């Protein structure tokens, strides 16, 4: 196993992780920004007001994008398992 192969595997793993994180993180950040703007405009300083909408959006995003995320993880894992003989030898 060469250093180039290890770096390639690591890079692909990081790409998969980033794609999985961004699909849930970006909608939560957008909702958090909108709620923060609403709180600043109305001067409401309630902590749960920002937590509950982000939680709901994250759950809905996971329900909608869950099958795609699972397929991405499965494809990555199957690719790693398929390439074991080439990585060892």
pLDDT at 45: 81
pLDDT per position as a tens digit, 44-68: 888 788 889 999 999 999 999 999 9
Question: CA-to-CA distance for 54 and 57, rounded, in angstroms?
Answer: 5
Q: Average pLDDT, whole number, for the chain?
A: 92
How many alpha carbons fall within 13 Å on the CB side of residue 82? 6
Residue 42, CB-side half-sphere exposure with 13 Å CA sphere: 9
Determine the number of helices (DSSP H) and then strands (DSSP E) in the chain. Answer: 3, 0
Q: For the chain, what are the domain ranges?
A: 24-88
Q: Model-level pTM?
A: 0.78
- Residue 67 is predicted with a pLDDT of 96
What pLDDT sits at residue 64? 97
φ and ψ of 21, to 5 deg = -70, -45
pLDDT at 81: 93
pLDDT at residue 1 tops 80: no
């Amino acid at each position: 196993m060469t250093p180039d192969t290890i770096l390639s595997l690591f890079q692909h793993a990081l790409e998969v992780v980033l794609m999985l994180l961004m699909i849930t993180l970006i909608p939560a950040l957008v909702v958090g920004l909108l709620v923060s703007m609403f709180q600043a405009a109305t001067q409401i300083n309630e902590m749960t007001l920002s937590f509950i909408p982000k939680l709901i959006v994250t759950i809905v995003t996971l329900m909608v994008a869950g099958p795609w995320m699972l397929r991405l993880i499965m494809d990555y894992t199957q690719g790693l398992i398929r390439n074991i003989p080439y990585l060892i030898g």
